[in-house]
Structure 1
């Protein structure tokens, strides 16, 4: 099993929880260093030091290609490509990421604005194929970022703050800043994630023919 850990609170909680919950499973950790910020290399090394204290192998996967088009979209594509290649190299058939309910709500909102249909509004899947023989799973999709920050605090886990999360050059960051106002109007993250769950269930029923 390969854990994708950036060093933020979500993935740091994932690494710690996985090490505690699955001590008999061969776990490995990978940090993708996109090289887009001056501190990214040091942050990746910090993940490695924490992984070592948990008895986990750690590798830094560096993205060394100049991005074309949107930076975040290109970085996301590269991240999954690097993770899939590393998983194949170490013999892992499952890659875990720490996407949260907050991430899901933002994804649904972005797709709603883009005019996506039901499949798009189903948001991120809990599990999907990543590459041949390798699956991607998101075990924290029902949990809020606040819960994972609290977990890190309770376990004295250090984590980094990515400034791009608040950079209004990026759509996701702008929508994140709007969430408190949308919540006041009744469009809460909980309702957005519930919409995604219902549409995902409807899609599964359509494909399988089961209710």
Structure 2
């Protein structure tokens, strides 16, 4: 009973968030960007279980960045198996991130992000989809506000992660899981007995976002337990005014 309550609560939150922002409609064809991590696995389960009633056409897309050796390849195999278990086709792309970063003179993270969205757009066009769903959640949004603040930003940077934005060529990125906290995603996995891959680099605090997640936010929460909510509220307020 509790597991069903957890699942339905998450679905209702995502549905309300998506409806309020008109992220997608019944019958839409949607590309799901699936890394294999907890967030994207929950997103896949949500869409797959909504698909029949809402007549959604779903396509899984996985980008293998090749940055973690055997771990990256294990993620790819996991996503292929997962997509097959849901009866969905799966497009996989190999991204040569290190070479691209060297060529452009940018950092590895920036190169990976740029190439990831380029490949997602390419796949969406090949499948006739106008929507690409990524699995960013509410905690990602709070972390992004702090990350941009530390880097130095104007008000636009404090708007955080938008629920939807143009990707190019009439294709949009949508982020329905912004309705959920990280802990709610973990609760969903446990409630449904779903397994996900874990990225070992998420524990490396040499990356500023990881340090914010593991050190800064917990420290701020000691003074203000609702700091994550406040950061998201600021982001949403500025996003609406942008």
Q: What TM bracket, shorter-length normalisation?
A: over 0.9
Cα RMSD for the two superposed structures = 1.2
2:186 pairs with one of 149, 153, 164: 149
1:168 Cα offset (Å): 1.5
Partner of 1:196: 235
- Aligned equivalents of 1:163 and 1:141: distance in 2? 23
Partner of 1:51: 83
Query: Given the alignment of the two structures, is residue 28 of structure 1 paired with residue 66 of structure 2, yes or no?
Result: no
Partner of 1:206: none
Structure 1 outlier segments of 4+, above 3 Å: none
Instruction: Provide TM-score, normalisation by structure 1.
Output: 0.92
1:72 Cα offset (Å): 1.3
Q: How many residues align?
A: 203
Gaps of 5+ in 1: 204-211
1:115 Cα offset (Å): 2.3
- Aligned equivalents of 2:186 and 2:50: distance in 1? 18
Gaps of 5+ in 2: 1-29
- Aligned equivalents of 1:164 and 1:194: distance in 2? 29
SS across alignment from 1:22: helix
SS across alignment from 2:57: coil
Query: Given the alignment of the two structures, is residue 101 of structure 1 paired with residue 158 of structure 2, yes or no?
Result: no
Instruction: Provide TM-score, normalisation by structure 2.
Output: 0.81
Partner of 1:8: 37
